[in-house]
Structure 1
Amino acid sequence: MQGPRRTEAPPDLTDADRRVVVIEDHVLLAESLTGQLRTAGWEARLLPVPDTVPALGEVVDRVARLQPRVAVLDIDGQRFGDGLRLVAPLVRSGVGVVALTTAEERTRRGEALGYGAGTVLTGETPLADLLAAVRAVAVGQPAVDPEERHELVAAWRLRHRERRELLTRFANLTGREREVLSGLLRGRAVRQISSDIGVTEATVRTHVKSILAKLRVGSQLAAVGLAHRIGWRHRGS
């Protein structure tokens, strides 16, 4: 039985333009994607999945040795390190990035674009659209509508500024306030927190009032929700 017919990449692409590296830690998906790119005429290589998480610089060096024009990068993967944090180093090294994600959040797409990705595609993207995106990035053409790119990056930057402001609020908590908030996160009552940290219940309530004021929330439940929202944890807990 004949295999799938090989279709040549567009004639205006040079041999260097056709070089693509796939960075994906789901092996079956990575092999499938690499094979589809090769069938479509691209010189696609698969970056081997490491046994342990390497430093970002090591990953970038591995990619650089393959001299690709484009990297198809799973930004949700973790075996190569935080996928999002790979985008900017790859772009700085001269590699165009087509980012892949299963997340629907606009801010995540905006973050990847803000770091320099040529485009961000989801798992619902048809193969033809993926190939078109790889080609556009390979030849330096826009792969995302400029207005959409601007909106997505702006949404990410706004959320990033809000997160930094929230982190500043938590950074202003004293050590004892952090202990009290950690107790609240664990579902401990004032009486139990008092026993845990060796202070009176009145002192714990005073700390709770201060926590609410510094975090600018109106209740213990809101303080706990805000801590969960930004992933705050007391180092000692």
Structure 2
Amino acid sequence: MTLRSEFGREGNVWLMPGGSLLSAALAAALVVVGWDVVQLASEEALARAAKEIGPTGRLVLIADTQGRLPDPRAALAGRPRPFVVAVGAGGAFSTLADVVERRVAAAVLDADRPFADLVAALDSLLRSTPVAHDANRLVARLRQREDEARRFFGLTPREQHVLGALIAGRSAAEIAVANQVSMPTVRSHIRAVLTKLGVSSQLAAVALAHRSCREPTLLERMREVHQL
């Protein structure tokens, strides 16, 4: 299926798999900013389109609901490789690291961000001239984010609540009043949060949450803060 833009042709972008909700949303958004989008539903469809895509093409791999990414290597075997971007979801940093390590994709994006930001980042990548990246450095950075994301799942419900309040800009005193607990109790929870996250300040904990947290309760809290 091909979606054509009415706002000036930037060229073709090939999305795979074409049947996911995220793929459909990205396809519609990319058309709005000027791309013609071809949605590919399977590796067989990619193999049939491989000649047309060519080495100057743009191929975007979209994770499924389980966080799995398609592997286009067999379908593109024996042909010049296009510029491949992998879009992972659900904090799938390990999956994204794997596709870079196996040289499946040259660039990656994490879909767990405001949708407008994701579209802008993807559009910017697709418009840029592909350059060779240090794959080992990118893999190391993604592995680090996977480790950071895992730390948030070690927080107790009360610690999650306190961190959520810090993310919302509440002070320790405000948290104590709102929850009808003492300041020493709040400070104890904050110390536990900092220790488990491996950071030395409340500001660093909030920054780490925005960068790498994928714990559902805290993610929802951050989305609420972004909407204020």
Kept in 2, the 8 Å contact 1:110–1:155? The answer is no
- Residue 49 of structure 2: SS of its match in structure 1? coil
Alpha-carbon distance in 2 for matches of 1:194, 1:161: 36
Equivalent residues of 1:98, 1:118 under 8 A apart: no
Please tell me the residue identity of whatever aligns with 1:94. Answer: A
Relative to structure 1, is the Cα distance of residues 113 and 196 closer, same or farther in structure 2, using a 3 angstrom cutoff? same
Task: Find the residue that maps to 2:82 and give its secondary structure.
Answer: strand
Q: Taking structure 1 as reference, are residues 192 and 87 closer, same or farther at Cα in structure 2, changes over 3 Å only?
A: closer
Q: Is 1:95 the equivalent of 2:70?
A: no
CA root-mean-square deviation: 4.6
Aligned match of 1:61 in 29, 41, 47? 41
Structure 2: tracts of 5 or more residues without a match: 25-38, 86-95, 108-124, 222-228
In 2, the alpha carbon distance for the partners of 1:74 and 1:86 equals: 18
Superposed displacement of residue 117, structure 1: 3.8
Matches of 2:148 and 2:22, distance apart in 1: 30
Q: Does 1:183 align with 2:165?
A: yes
Q: Deviations over 1:29-54 (max 9, x none)?
A: 895525xxxxxxxxx9999x989645
Pair 156,29 (structure 1): closer, same or farther in 2 beyond 3 Å:
farther
* Map of 1:211 onto structure 2: 193
TM-score, length-normalised on structure 1?
0.52
One-letter amino acid of the structure 2 residue matched with residue 123 of structure 1: R
Q: Is the Cα contact below 8 Å between 1:172 and 1:214 reproduced in 2?
A: yes
| Contact 2:101 2:135 survives alignment (8 Å) | yes
TM-score normalised by length of structure 2 = 0.54
- Asked if the contact 2:159/2:189 (under 8 Å) is kept, the reply is yes
Correspondence for 1:27? 5
Task: Give runs of aligned pairs for residues 144-155 of structure 1, distance below 5 A.
Answer: 152-155=134-137
Corresponding residue number in structure 2 for 1:123: 127
Distance across 1 between alignment mates of 2:105 and 2:184: 56
CA contact (8 A) 2:58 2:126 kept: no
Q: What's 1:140 paired with?
A: none
Bigger-Rg structure (1/2): 1
* 1:169 and 2:173 aligned: no
Contact 1:87 1:112 survives alignment (8 Å)? no
CA deviation vs aligned residue, 1:170-189 (integer Å, no higher than 9, x gap): 22111110100000000001
Amino acid at match of 1:166: E
- What is the CA-CA distance between 1:164 and the residue it aligns to? 1.7
- Cα deviations by residue, 1:147-185 (Å, 9 ceiling, x for unpaired): x56xx2211210122112112222211111010000000
Q: Which residue of 2 aligns with 1:9?
A: none
Task: Give, in angstroms, the shift of residue 231 of structure 1.
Answer: 4.4
1: CA distance between counterparts of 2:14 and 2:153? 45
Amino acid at match of 1:73: R
Contact (CA 8 Å) 2:175, 2:186: kept in 1 or not?
Answer: yes
Alpha-carbon distance change, 211 to 32 in structure 1, aligned in 2, over 3 angstroms = closer
Residue-pair matches, total: 169
Cα offset for 1:206? 0.5
**Match for 2:44: what amino acid?**
A
User: Quick one: percent identity of the two aligned structures?
Assistant: 25
CA contact (8 A) 1:73 1:100 kept: yes
